[in-house]
Amino acid sequence: MDGDICDLPGLIALKKRFRCNLIIDEAHSVGVLGPSGRGIGHHFPGIDPNDVDLWMGTLSKSFASCGGYIAGNASLVNYLKYTAPGFLYSVGMSPPNAAAALKSLELMQRHPEIVEQLRQRSKLFLELARSRASIRGFPWVLPSFLQSSAIPYNACN
């Protein structure tokens, strides 16, 4: 959550070398990374999505909704669907949450420039925050180590 970006090509190479499964959690990358916000798989050019066994993420961050998703080959997804406690002991998404997530996806696909605008605003925020206080952090999450609560208050005024 602090802005680190995994070396997906390197992870895929390790997966192939050791013949193991690779699961990627897109909770903090979908909506932010890649030219149109499609996540870590599109952040690195030339990645074959089939090289990752399971993609998962949340709809509660970039998509302003609730719930999550799992994507992978049909047999693995079906296995999880019928055996994972999160699927067995929960209810489906409400129609308003499904509509919010769908609309967010549609907007991101139709207007990829909003992802670049997010990056520019994040960069500006970080630059301004660093110039006004001794704050360390990354564009997506800004962990703050401050000596007094007066510092952020004064920075906003």
What pLDDT, in 10s, does the model give residues 51-88? 999 999 999 988 989 888 999 999 999 998 888 877 67
- The per-residue pLDDT for 133 is 64
pLDDT for the residue 67: 87
What integer pLDDT is reported at residue 130 of this predicted model? 75
Looking at residue 140, what is its pLDDT?
47
Contact 112, 38 (CB under 8 A): no
The rounded Cα 29 to chain-centroid distance in angstroms is 2
d(CA 91, CA 93): 7
- Give residue 101's pLDDT: 93
CA-closest candidate to residue 156, choices 137, 138, 133:
133
88 token code pair: 């067995």
Condensed to tens digits (0 to 9), the pLDDT of residues 2-39 reads 668 899 999 999 999 999 999 999 998 999 899 889 99
User: What number of residues does the chain have?
Assistant: 157
| 153, pLDDT greater than 90 | no
pLDDT in tens, 89-132: 777 889 999 999 999 999 999 999 999 998 899 888 878 877 77
Distance, in Å, from the CA atom of 106 to the CA atom of 146, rounded to the nearest integer, reads 39
Q: Give me the helices (H) in the chain, please.
A: 8-18, 40-43, 74-83, 85-88, 95-110, 113-132, 150-156
Nearest-angstrom CA–CA distance, 64 and 97: 8
Q: Is the pLDDT of residue 134 over 80?
A: no
